[in-house]
Amino acid sequence: MDPITIALGIAKLTGLDKTIGGWFGGDNGEKVAAKVLDIAQTYTGSSNPQEALAMIENSSKWQHDIKMALLNNEQELKTLAFMNTKDARLMQMKALEQDDQFSKHFVYYLAIFWSIFAVVYIACITFLTIPEESVRFADTILGFLLGTVIATMLNYFWGSNNSNEKRTDQQSLKDLIG
């Protein structure tokens, strides 16, 4: 079994699959998975990840302990997961130091292009008649624009909003404690 699969299994057993599980799919998913496995192996004292998974699977105490350990290391896991965004911002800071105006403003031109494209596309599929055979394509493209393009631009310029995620984790922590 590969490390990401085992780490996802551990996250699922602890109830943190929605929080931590999403981080396995990013560019640094293997690093996040390795950290989760390291935490699990350290707490269970097991020699390999599959053994740790089996121990956690068979014990609600281990599930609770590993969940608390993962929550205690949440910031480190989040930092590992989103390292690539930091690099993109550093790249843009270097680009702003150049004299070449196109390179200096490329990210902004790209964001303007996709913003205008998204607004025009949304307006067209909202107010124009779409042929019946194209409705699925229109829905797919709309989902891509809203879920990927616009979300990525907002995340890049203003950072990620994890308030719902934090609220869920705080509620889970309250449920564990009280």
pLDDT recorded at residue 171: 53
Candidates 18, 12, 11, 1; CA nearest to 36 is: 11
- Looking at every residue in the chain, the average pLDDT score rounds to 83
Query: What does the domain layout of the chain look like in residue ranges?
Result: 3-82, 85-158
Instruction: Measure the CA angle with vertex 142, ends 112 and 162; round to 5°.
Output: 75
pLDDT in tens, 29-73: 888 888 999 999 998 998 889 999 999 999 888 899 999 999 898
What is the rounded CA–CA span in Å between residue 79 and residue 42?
20
pLDDT in tens, 69-104: 998 988 888 888 777 666 666 777 888 888 888 888
What is the rounded CA–CA span in Å between residue 148 and residue 99?
31
pLDDT recorded at residue 164: 46
User: Distance between the two ends of the chain, CA-based, in angstroms?
Assistant: 36
pLDDT in tens, 115-155: 999 999 999 999 999 999 999 999 999 999 988 888 888 87
What is the rounded CA–CA span in Å between residue 60 and residue 67?
10
